[in-house]
């Protein structure tokens, strides 16, 4: 069931909210149970045949967590290894079995038949959430073991399909807090406002860009410089607003129930370097990879070479987490190289005492970081390596600079000058060229020049915020700061109306495939 569908907006959500608070007046435990059952129904709407898999995973991990918590530490480690192995084995089968078979066939010339395993939606997220629970249990951080709360912790529908990756210690205190089960108009107003902003990002911006990004990646051959960058930028902003929209919608939906999810998206394209980018993009996944993989491998405590090896390993595995394909391995490897280069440059700049804080240098750094991220997105989106290579060739001007003829016909004498400089003019594609760059400019202005949802709502603590001080919001114009007022009620109403009018056939969120 999609957040941007009428079945969700007009039926599932209002019924779930109303029954939750009605039942909460009698029993908080029953209300938590109702929300857990509603979340299971939400999940099974996609395909009820995978509901037993989710339930089996929950029961098994809850039992193993209990065993780890109530076993001497010498034996608890054994149970932790077994539990993590079981979770990763399940994930490996559903997500990577066919990838492994096809890779072996390609490398060894064998003909093993693929299994055609269907990937259960959300399996990466509920698997990582439960692995975090198991490790936290082993480390003594888990204090609450009520099964109904654990069921809700894993299945909680605002996060189940595409994150954020939750920590047990973040959610359990909220499930046990009486305020969570109290109808508060402030929570409803804040929740609806955040949800509306996220819905608008998805329906009005991301889905509009999707048309041009899809056409480019699937139907354009040997793109010239401007066409290549137009298509790549269209996808870069489509993914940005698609994931940002989902993150906002998840936070807004959760706030309706008085529950605050962790912040998962914080204007990553404004990052001044790739290190900061990963502190802003999919923040809870970055936190998981740092806490349970990078640090577990030794982090930066065993010398520079080992640190860089740990960074590369973490990013390659992070790439594989996003998808079973060599394109995702390349994407992860690129980001590993970026991070190593960023750390090396930071160390060198510090040793040489280079001044890197000027406004001009900051703007240049943002542009370089954004260009590097866009370059890597090509492998994230392209169907195969050959397709990605063709697009990269266009981006680095190996196919020349081409402009549609119906644009050139309006340039007058400038067209002659451009042709003298080697720019060619081709027939067709002018309308798409203009529309693509028009949407790219609109999306770029919003992403780079306007405050994000967290900044707009900052005064009302919309989410659990783990940002460092340097990543917290700066001054936001007073008229862009959300307040419970008639003016904002009208704006939110108009945003919702515009979004609802454009929901014809709801498009899936891009992160559903991971």
Catalytic amino acids?
322
What single DSSP character describes residue 50?
G
Longest dimension (CA), the chain: 83
CA distance 460 to 182: 17
Nearest residue to 238 (alpha-carbon basis) of 267, 213, 264, 269: 213
CA distance 63 to 84: 13
CA distance 34 to 53: 20
| Residues 460/252, Cβ–Cβ less than 8 Å | no
Nearest residue to 448 (alpha-carbon basis) of 271, 230, 265: 271
Which residues are within 8 A (CB) of 173 and not within 5 positions of it... i.e. 6 or more apart? Answer: 144
DSSP notation for 293-349: IITTTTTTSS-HHHHHHHHHHHHHHHHHHH-SSHHHHHHHHHHHHHHHHHHHHHHHH
Count of residues making up the chain: 514
Torsion angle in degrees (nearest 10) through CA of 194, 265, 6, 440: 100
Tokens, residue 203: 């329906």
Helical H segments across 258-300, by residue range: 274-280, 283-289
Residue 459 CB neighbour total at 10 angstroms: 10
CA distance 351 to 372: 25
Phi, psi of 403 (to 5 degrees): -130, 140
Q: Under the phi-then-psi rule, with left for phi > 0, alpha for psi from -120 to 50, and beta for the rest, what region is 428?
A: left
DSSP notation for 397-446: TTT--EEEHHHHTTSTHHHHHHHHTT-EEESS-HHHHHHHHHHHHHHHHH
What's the Cα-to-Cα distance from 37 to each of 59, 157, 159, 182, 290, rounded to whole Å?
15, 10, 15, 19, 32
CA distance 343 to 376: 18
What single DSSP character describes residue 484?
S
Tokens, residue 146: 């009520």
CA distance 80 to 136: 10
CA distance 457 to 69: 39
CA distance 49 to 284: 29
Q: Which residue is listed with tokens 């990879």?
A: 289
């Amino acid at each position: 069931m999609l957040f941007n569908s009428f079945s969700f907006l007009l039926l599932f959500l209002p019924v779930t909210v109303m029954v939750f608070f009605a039942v909460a007046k009698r029993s908080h435990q029953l209300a938590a149970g109702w929300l857990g059952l509603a979340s299971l129904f939400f999940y099974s709407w996609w395909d009820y045949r995978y509901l037993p898999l989710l339930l089996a995973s929950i029961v098994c991990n809850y039992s193993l967590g209990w065993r780890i918590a109530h076993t001497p530490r010498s034996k608890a480690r054994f149970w932790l290894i077994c539990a993590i192995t079981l979770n990763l084995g399940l994930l490996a089968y559903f997500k990577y079995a066919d990838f492994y078979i096809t890779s072996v066939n390609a490398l060894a010339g064998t003909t093993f038949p693929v299994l055609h395993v269907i990937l259960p939606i959300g399996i990466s997220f509920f698997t990582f959430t439960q692995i975090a629970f198991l490790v936290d249990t082993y480390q003594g951080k888990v204090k609450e073991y009520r099964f109904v709360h654990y069921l809700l912790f894993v299945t909680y529908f605002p996060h189940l399909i595409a994150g954020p990756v939750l920590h047990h210690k973040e959610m359990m205190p909220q499930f046990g807090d009486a305020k969570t089960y109290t109808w508060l108009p402030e929570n409803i107003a804040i929740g609806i406002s955040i949800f509306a902003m996220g819905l608008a990002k998805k329906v009005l911006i991301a889905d509009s860009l999707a048309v041009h990004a899809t056409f480019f990646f699937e139907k354009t051959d040997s793109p010239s410089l401007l066409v290549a960058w137009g298509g790549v930028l269209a996808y870069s902003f489509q993914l940005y607003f698609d994931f940002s929209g989902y993150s906002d919608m998840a936070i807004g939906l959760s706030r309706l129930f008085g529950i605050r999810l962790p912040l998962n998206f914080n204007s990553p394209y404004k990052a001044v370097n790739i290190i900061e980018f990963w502190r802003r993009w999919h923040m809870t996944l970055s936190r998981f990879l740092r806490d349970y993989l990078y640090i577990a491998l030794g982090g930066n405590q065993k010398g520079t070479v080992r640190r860089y090896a740990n960074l590369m390993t973490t990013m390659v595995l992070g790439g594989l987490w996003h998808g079973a394909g060599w394109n995702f391995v390349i994407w992860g490897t690129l980001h590993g190289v970026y991070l190593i280069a960023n750390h090396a440059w930071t160390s060198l700049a510090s040793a040489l005492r280079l001044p890197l804080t000027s406004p001009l240098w900051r703007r240049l750094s943002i542009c370089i970081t954004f260009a590097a991220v866009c370059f890597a997105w090509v492998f994230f989106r392209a169907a195969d390596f050959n397709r990605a290579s063709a697009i990269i060739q266009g981006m680095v001007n190996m196919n020349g600079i081409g402009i549609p003829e119906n644009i050139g016909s309006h340039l007058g004498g400038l067209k002659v000058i451009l042709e003298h400089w080697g720019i060619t003019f081709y027939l067709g594609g002018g309308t798409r060229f203009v529309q693509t760059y028009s949407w790219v400019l609109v999306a770029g202005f919003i992403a780079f020049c306007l405050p994000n949802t967290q900044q707009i709502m900052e005064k009302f603590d919309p989410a659990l915020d783990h940002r460092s001080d340097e990543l917290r919001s700066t001054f936001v114009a007073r008229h862009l700061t959300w307040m419970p007022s008639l003016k904002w009620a009208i704006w939110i109403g108009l945003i919702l109306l515009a979004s609802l009018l454009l929901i014809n056939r709801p498009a899936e969120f891009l992160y559903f495939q991971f």
